[in-house]
Amino acid sequence: MTKHGVVLEDVAAARHFSFPPPRTTTPTAGGGDSFRKLAAQVDLGAAVVGSWLDSMKASSPRHRLMAPLPGAADAEHDDWMERHPSALDRFDALAAAAKGKQVAVFLDYDGTLSPIVEDPDRAVMTDEMREAVRGVAARFPTAIVSGRCRDKVFSFVRLAELYYAGSHGMDIRGPTADPNHHGKAADSSSSVLCQPASEFLPVMEEVYAALVSRVEPSIPGAKVENNKFCLSVHFRCVEEAAWAPLFELVRAVLRDYPGLRLTQGRKVLEVRPMIRWDKGKALEFLLTALGFADADKDDVFPIYVGDDRTDEDAFRVLRARGQGAGILVSRFPKETSASFTLRDPAEVKDFLRKLVVVNADADTNNS
């Protein structure tokens, strides 16, 4: 594992190149047939409501605990762990696979670097976790890839030497400080790498206002969060009996905005622009920006750590490339394209610390 000072110079030179993603069609009400088919997801009647409710329930940890037979649950968990072993237990094998390669680290935020909390504004990472991330960033290119607004994630993490991909990668910024000289600022405007959905900003503000005025007063516990290029409707504090009315209200608002689509994360409904862009595309973009697009897969070892279904897009990219390691943060068996698991943010912190130690040992042995 090597340090990445030279790589950062390459990225600095690449900060202004464009990378427009393909769109399904133009974001207008008069789009083509394929666009209408995608937009129709918010108007399919009772069948869609039932399907979404099932999915919303599946995202709730308490439902995962309601296995009919403890023995069956234990067997399922053991089988799942055999197929997705702990990244801590298999750390030596991971380190061996990464030896001699350029490591790049990509981290989700909520549920990965901080615990999931009822109030999303209180999802604060610990000082110990911040130091673990700082140590990794001093040795490898490191990015936070989150559904949150980029500025909000930065306010939680407060490390200027990282890459930040907010709004599920629709708002990417490079480091604004040298990782080896903390606090040395750069021009923040020159560090914006990619905003593929910038034309949607006015409509996102309009829909945000509509959701706040219609959802929050009607559904106790619901909270609408403006993540700039996407909107989050949190239902963690909503009684389960109100989930169907909540979904109906959200899709009623979206009927007037065929350029937007509705997706789901962990205890959250998310409104996004209807473009082909997700955390997987963000991962590919960042690897390109780091100068790894044309590198032999045996020369680069990306590590992506995340806990949400939206992180599956990134896990699938790594699996398709046959490269690096996807690590799912979860205590419960679930379908995933990740190869390894960690149980919670505490184990993520331990994993990041081990990355720092093994890199320091490698530097000592090579000196």
How would you classify residue 168: left for phi > 0, otherwise alpha for psi between -120 and 50, otherwise beta? Answer: left
Q: Which amino acid is at 164?
A: Y
Dihedral sign from CA coordinates of 237, 239, 243, 245:
negative
Active-site hit among 10, 79, 92, 108: 108
Using CA atoms, how far apart are residues 364 and 249, in angstroms rounded to an integer?
59
Closest CA to 235 of 212, 266, 272: 266
Is 350 one of the annotated active-site residues of the chain? Answer: no
Using CA atoms, how far apart are residues 355 and 161, in angstroms rounded to an integer?
18
Paired sense of beta strands 340-342 and 325-329, if any: parallel
Please give the backbone phi and psi of residue 149, each rounded to the nearest 5 degrees, phi first.
Answer: -60, 135
Written as one string, the DSSP assignment of 102-139 is EEEEEE--BTTTB---SSGGG-PPPHHHHHHHHHHHTT
Active site residues: 108
